[in-house]
Amino acid sequence: MGDHEMACTCSIVPGSQPHRHRELQPEPPILDSILGHIGNTPLVRLSRIAKAEGLQCELLAKCEFFNAGGSVKDRIASRIIEEAERDGRIKPGYTIIEATSGNTGIGLAMACAVKGYKCIITLPEKMSQEKVDVLRALGAQTIRTPTEAAWDSPESHISVANRLHKEIPNSIILGQYESPYNPVAHYDGTAEEILAACNNQLDMLVLGAGTGGTLTGIARKIKERCPECLIVGADPVGSILAQPDSLNQEAAGTYFVEGIGYDFIPDTLDRQLVDHWIKITDKPSFTMARRLIREEGLLCGGSSGGAVWAAVEAARSLGPGKRVVTLLPDSVRNYMTRFLNDDWMKKHGFLDEDEEMRKQNERNAQWSGARVKDLNLKRAVVIEMKTPVMDAVELMKANGFDQLPVISSSGILRGIVTLGNVLSLITTGRVTSDAQVSNVMFRFQTRSSKKFREITPETPLAELDRFFENNIAGIVTERLSIDEDRVAFTPVHVVTAVDLLTYLMQKK
């Protein structure tokens, strides 16, 4: 992965490089494995969005969330593994290691589950629980690393992955930013599917750019077949992928749309293929993603909204009989607690006032004054501070927990221990397996990022719902009087966002 601009080094014209190419094949009626359900995704007409925006041209969306693992990254994950197998770089019994926070890791874990490889995914603690749950369900071992760790520090998810690769025999790290089979997968597959569906007739292609493999592979094939087709790239404000550089005047920074944009130019991105760039921002991207869900019934992610917003803006200049194609990279699955959540949208200023008022009224009616006690939660499983770390790990694994409340010998709540943090500390050698839980726990009274927030059986569910905007789980407590001036808390339940969803489903 480079940290400076360089020309794309991935030539994917057949015969110009020793890259293997494939002809597009129809999906058979019975698949040998779920990996056969990668590709051949539907191309859907966005009639309602186009009409509402006053477009005269046809607007089509390639729905990549119909791939087996839920994203366009399934195409490259499967292809990169298969090519490594052909080259003899991966053999039975190997372990595939990936440092990731996104869809490529899920695609690799899915392929490993089918092919029988071990899979280790390292990812920062801040990444959504939805992603972790999917990875674990696929059999991948997940190692959570401290969010605050710099990318090149020994504790970062990248450094941990590299160290594991050195320590684990017969392991391999596959690089999506450098592999020529990233764009080749789209040159051979995605582009051919679009051309076949459109009968080689399209006037504009609008794509977001991340690693650049999707844009490079599709755009290069379409330029060969439809030289007059305009290629438009969508790049978030805060990223530096767009050209000319004057479009990137705002310094590289944080944006919430995931999966597109970078502060470096990936080797797999050929920017010379792009005729025009459009800079996108978070609010219109998330608003459009929610519209795609509500108006078109397409359960897509936030970057899909950004791509469609850019496509709509670019398509305003086209008249009747013209055709625009864009691509929806992934599904809403990984973002249930992000842009799909009204409170999250409100917190970050992405919800319009009228929409906010309507949603607030719906929320009040949704909870109907219910409180935590109405969830009928199970009694909390707790662990004492002096317990050995490995006992805590085994207890969490046995119960399928990611965290446990930590109590003193007298039953007073002292903090919380998380599986991700424990495994990270053990992996990095900062603690041993026989250390006490007190050495790895987050102490509520001392760690600012883990401040204790009182949740009681009487806490309104509407308030608890807002709590889960930035928290994975909460500890329901009861007060214990120590003396006239002091109180302590004892844990009685652990509550998660899943408990709220279950309550709503049962209510309906």
Q: Which one, of 280, 291, 202, lies nearest residue 241 by Cα? A: 280
Instruction: State which H helix or E strand residue 475 sits in.
Output: strand 473-481
Asked whether 121 and 62 are in contact (CB, 8 A), the reply is no
Q: Which of these, 406, 398, 487, 403, lies nearest to 439 by C-alpha position?
A: 406
DSSP reduced 3-state for 392: helix
Cβ–Cβ under 8 Å, residues 497 and 343: no
Residue 73 is among the residues annotated as catalytic for this protein: yes
| CA 87/CA 98 separation, integer angstroms | 19
Task: Evaluate whether 216 touches 273 at the Cβ level (below 8 Å).
Answer: yes
The SS3 of residue 163 is helix
The pair of three-digit structure tokens given for residue 339, joined into one six-digit string: 């842009």
- What backbone phi and psi angles, to 5 degrees, belong to 406? -110, 130
69 burial (CB, 10 Å; 0-12 / 13-18 / 19+) is: buried
Distance CA 440, CA 442 (A): 7
**Beta-carbon count within 10 A of 259 CB:** 23
Closest by CA to 328, choosing from 351, 301, 347, is 301
Distance CA 483, CA 31 (A): 68
Strands (E) across 323-472 are located at 323-328, 383-384, 403-407, 413-418, 442-443
3-state secondary structure (DSSP) of residue 287? helix
Q: Which of 73, 221, 279, 283 is catalytic?
A: 73
Give bridge partners of residue 417 from the DSSP assignment. Answer: 404
User: What is the C-alpha separation between 64 and 42, in angstroms, rounded?
Assistant: 8
Distance between CA atoms of residues 424 and 428, nearest Å: 6
Is 149 strand, coil or helix?
A: coil
Catalytic center residues: 73
